[in-house]
C-alpha cells in the first residue's frame, strides 16, 4: 500500500512539475515492481521539452531529469530556464541525476553548450523555477545554518573548451520530501551570486530506514 501511494505521489509530482512543457510531449505513467514512473517526450531537442525518470525500490531511489534551456518568454516553455543567454544560451542542455539509499545521496550534473571557460556556481534550491530568478527560493540545507558544501549540495564546475561541464556531490544525508525542487546556476562559484539559470528537478527523499 505504501509503495502504491508513493508511486501515485511521484507520478503527480513529475507531471505537475512538467506542466510547463509544450504540447509536443506525450505523458506516460507506468507502475511495476520497482514503482517506476516515467515521462516520455517527443522532439525534446527542438522543443526544449524535458525527460524525467524516477525509480524507487525498498533500498534505493533514482531520479533523472534533462532539458534544454529556454528563456522565460519562450513560445514553448521548458523546465530549464535561462535568465542570461550569454552565459547559458537558449538550447544549451542540462541533466541532473539523484541516487539515494540508506547510506546517503549522490547528485550529479552534466551540461553542454555553455560559455567555455566560465566558472559556474551551482546549488540545489528549495522551490521550482519561475520567470523570476528568485522563484527557486534559498539553498536546500540539511540543517539550518552555514552555507557550505557539507550542509548543502554544491555542484560548481568550469565549462570546458566545448562548453561542457560536469560535477557531483555526495552526502551521508538525503532530501526531505518536498523541500528540494531545483538546481540553480550562478555567475560565481561559492555560496552566492547572480542567478543565471534554473532547472526544476523532482528530487526525492531516500528510502525509509
Beta bridge pairs of residue 64: 53, 97
C-alpha distances out from residue 31 to 8, 11, 149, 202, 204, Å: 9, 10, 36, 18, 17
Position 50 scores a pLDDT of 58
Number of H helices, E strands in the chain: 2, 12
Residue 72 pLDDT greater than 60, yes or no: yes
Global pTM?
Answer: 0.75
Which carries the bigger pLDDT value, residue 10 or residue 152?
A: 152
Mean pLDDT of the residues in the chain: 80
Position 30 scores a pLDDT of 28
Residue 2 pLDDT greater than 60, yes or no: no
Calculate mean pLDDT across residues 102-106: 94
At 192, the pLDDT band (50, 70, 90 cuts) reads confident
Q: Please, which contacts does 43-46 make with residues 24 or more away whose CB atoms are closer than 8 Å?
A: 44/68
The answer to whether residues 205 and 177 touch, using CB atoms and an 8 Å cutoff, is: yes
CA–CA distance, 69 with 67 (Å, rounded to integer) = 7
Where helices occur in 118-159 by DSSP H, the ranges are none
Calculate mean pLDDT across residues 70-85: 96
Residue 34 pLDDT greater than 50, yes or no: no
Element housing 135 (H / E): none
pLDDT above 90 as % of the chain: 67
Calculate mean pLDDT across residues 45-70: 74
Amino acid at each position: 500500500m505504501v509503495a502504491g501511494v508513493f508511486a501515485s505521489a511521484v507520478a503527480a509530482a513529475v507531471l505537475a512539475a512538467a506542466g510547463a512543457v509544450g504540447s509536443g510531449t506525450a505523458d506516460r505513467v507506468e507502475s511495476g515492481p520497482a514503482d517506476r514512473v516515467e515521462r516520455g517526450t517527443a522532439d525534446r531537442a527542438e522543443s526544449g521539452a524535458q525527460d524525467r525518470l524516477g525509480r524507487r525500490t525498498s533500498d534505493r531511489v533514482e531520479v533523472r531529469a534533462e532539458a534544454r534551456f529556454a528563456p522565460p518568454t519562450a513560445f514553448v516553455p521548458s523546465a530549464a530556464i535561462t535568465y542570461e543567454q550569454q552565459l547559458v544560451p537558449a538550447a544549451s542542455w542540462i541533466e541532473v541525476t539523484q541516487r539515494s539509499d540508506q547510506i546517503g545521496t549522490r547528485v550529479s550534473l552534466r551540461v553542454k553548450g555553455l560559455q567555455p571557460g566560465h566558472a559556474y556556481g551551482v546549488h540545489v534550491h528549495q522551490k521550482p523555477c519561475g520567470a523570476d530568478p528568485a522563484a527557486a527560493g534559498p539553498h536546500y540545507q540539511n540543517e539550518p545554518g552555514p552555507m557550505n558544501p557539507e550542509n548543502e549540495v554544491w555542484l560548481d564546475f568550469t565549462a570546458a573548451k566545448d562548453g561542457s561541464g560536469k560535477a557531483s556531490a555526495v552526502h551521508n544525508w538525503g532530501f526531505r520530501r518536498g523541500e528540494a525542487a531545483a538546481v540553480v546556476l550562478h555567475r560565481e562559484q561559492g555560496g552566492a551570486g547572480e542567478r543565471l539559470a534554473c532547472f526544476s528537478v523532482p528530487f526525492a527523499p531516500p528510502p525509509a530506514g
